[in-house]
């Protein structure tokens, strides 16, 4: 939950920046300002609303991860035996830098922060993954080891898949490869934008951007975070 004891002048400043950012996002949805997985060619408020709350039934279950929800029923059923539900507990580390990635994760809700370690006890967030994407992109790119830490920053659930099962599936005909290519482009754009913001934007602007990106993925007005985690903003 956002700290309610922040100085009044800071809250007012952040509120103003949030308002401007939201207006800019609505006017230029195709530029991925909040960087969900796929941009909309033209802004349509109803289309945007449907896009962000996508819930598609695959047989008797609901799939809320937008990558999995975009698969055809046939392809999803082919992948289904290898999928398992996984609880994203706040503060849980999915993998550390240098570790072999044995599973990839498709969040249904909740968020996972991708952190780069810049010192023994210091980290910098370089990306956020929610239900628009997948945690474990290095596996898709042909690598088996991560250079980042994957930390659950918003609790929820995810669909977990063994890395080897993903590799086997990608060798078959299907749309998942193309979806992951598009998502990888979006994630790289997010990381690039984060680098620019961390270098040139004010603390208030960086905080506003982080709050919007988190809200965009959690779809909630309240979320749990600590001042320690926000400090690098």
Structural domain boundaries in the chain? 8-230
At residue 21, the pLDDT reads: 53
> What Å distances lie between residue 103 and 54, 161, 177, 221, CA to CA?
24, 5, 17, 30
pLDDT of residue 44: 46
Distance CA 198, CA 81 (A): 42
pLDDT at position 152 over 70: yes
pLDDT of residue 159: 97
Instruction: Tell me what the mean pLDDT of segment 158-178 comes to.
Output: 96
What does the DSSP 8-state code read for residue 126?
E
- Is it the case that residue 170 has pLDDT exceeding 50? yes
**CA 5 vs CA 1, 9, 232: distances in Å:** 11, 11, 19
Residue 30: C-alpha distances to residues 6, 39, 43, 94 (Å): 33, 5, 7, 32
Predicted confidence at residue 125, as pLDDT, reads: 85
What average pLDDT does range 47-69 have in this prediction? 60
Residue pair 127/170 in contact by the 8 Å Cβ criterion: no
Instruction: Give backbone dihedrals phi and psi of 97, rounded to 5 degrees, phi first.
Output: -60, 135
CA distance 48 to 206: 24
Query: pLDDT-derived band of residue 3, with 50, 70 and 90 as boundaries?
Result: very low
User: What are the beta bridge partners of residue 63?
Assistant: 56
Residue 85 has pLDDT above 80, yes or no: yes
Nearest-5° Cα angle at 157, 187 to 224: 80
The pLDDT value given to residue 128 = 93
pLDDT at 4: 44
Q: Which tokens belong to 149?
A: 């830490």
Higher per-residue confidence, 18 vs 50: 18
pLDDT digits (tens, 9 = 90+) for 188-218: 998 888 787 777 777 777 777 777 777 777 7
Phi, psi of 222 (to 5 degrees): -130, 135
Res. 51: pLDDT tops 50? no
CA 184 to chain CA mean position, Å: 11
**What is the pLDDT, as a whole number, of residue 79?**
95
Asked if 1 contacts 218 with a C-beta cutoff of 8 angstroms, the reply is: no
- The CATH-assigned architecture of domain 8-230 is Sandwich (2.60)
Note the pLDDT of residue 82: 97
């Amino acid at each position: 939950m956002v700290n309610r004891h922040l100085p009044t002048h800071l809250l007012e400043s952040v509120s103003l920046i949030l308002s401007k950012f939201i207006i800019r996002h609505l006017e230029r949805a195709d530029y991925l300002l909040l960087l969900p997985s796929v941009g909309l060619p033209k802004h349509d408020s109803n289309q945007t609303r449907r896009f962000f709350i996508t819930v598609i039934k695959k047989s008797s279950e609901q799939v809320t991860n937008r990558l999995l929800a975009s698969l055809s029923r046939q392809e999803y059923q082919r992948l289904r035996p290898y999928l398992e539900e996984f609880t994203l507990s706040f503060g849980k580390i999915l993998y550390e830098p240098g570790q072999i990635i044995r599973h990839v994760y498709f969040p249904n809700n909740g968020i996972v922060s991708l952190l780069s370690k810049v010192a023994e006890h210091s980290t910098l967030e370089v990306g956020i993954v929610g239900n628009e994407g997948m945690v474990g992109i290095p596996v898709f790119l042909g690598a088996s080891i991560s250079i980042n830490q994957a930390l659950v920053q918003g609790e929820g659930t995810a669909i977990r898949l063994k890395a080897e099962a993903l590799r086997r599936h990608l060798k078959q005909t299907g749309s998942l490869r193309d979806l992951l290519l598009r998502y990888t482009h979006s994630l790289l754009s997010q990381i690039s934008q984060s680098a620019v913001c961390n270098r040139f934007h004010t603390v208030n602007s960086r905080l506003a951007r982080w709050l919007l990106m988190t809200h965009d993925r959690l779809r909630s007005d309240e979320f749990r975070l600590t001042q320690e985690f926000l400090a690098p903003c």
